[in-house]
Chains A and B, each alone.
Chain A
Amino acid sequence: MWFQVANTALGIWLMAAPAVLDYGAPAASVDRVLGPTVAAVALIAASEVTRGFRLLNVPIGVALLVVPGLLGYETPALANSIAIGAAIILLAIPRGRIKHQVGGGWRSLAE
Chain B
Amino acid sequence: MGSSLENRPPGWSYNPSRWNQRLPIVALALLGTAIAAYLSLYQLNLIEDVWEPFFADGSRRILESKISHILPIPDAVLGALGYLLDALTGVIGGRDRWRRMPWIVVIFGLAVGPLGLVSVILVILQPVLFDAFCTLCLLSAVISVVMIGPALDELLASLQHLKRIRRQGGSVWRTFWGIDPAAGQPTDLKQVEA
Q: Do A and B bind each other?
A: yes
The SS class assigned to the A binding surface is helix
Contact with A along B104-136 (1 / 0, CB 8 A): 000000000000100010011001100000000
* B124 contacts A47, C-beta separation under 8 Å: no
Whether the pair B120, A45 counts as a contact (CB closer than 8 A) is no
Question: For window 94-111 of chain A, which residues contact chain B by CB distance below 8 Å?
Answer: 99-106, 108-109
Across the interface, B149 reaches (CB within 8 A) one of A33, A45, A99, A100, namely A45
Chain B interface size, under 10 / 10 to 19 / 20 to 34 / 35 or more: 20 to 34
Nearest-Cβ distance from residue A42 to partner chain B, whole angstroms: 10
A104→B156 CA distance, assembly (Å): 10
Tell me the dominant secondary structure on chain B's binding face: helix
Contacts A32-B127, A102-B11 known; A40 to B163 CB distance under 8 Å? no
Q: Give the chain A neighbours of B141 by CB distance below 8 A.
A: 36, 40
- Which among B11, B116, B153 is the interface contact of A40 at CB below 8 angstroms? B116
Tell me if A43 counts as interface (CB < 8 A to partner B).
yes
A49 touches B156 (CB 8 A): yes
Given contacts A29-B128, A37-B124, contact A50 B149 (CB under 8 A): yes
Q: A47-B152, A101-B11 known; A36 and B163 CB under 8 Å?
A: no
A residues at B contact (CB < 8 Å):
15, 29, 32-33, 36-37, 39-40, 43-50, 99-106, 108-109
Contacts A102-B157, A103-B160 aside, 10 further interface pairs with beta carbons under 8 A come to A40-B145, A43-B146, A44-B145, A44-B149, A47-B148, A47-B152, A99-B13, A101-B12, A102-B12, A103-B10
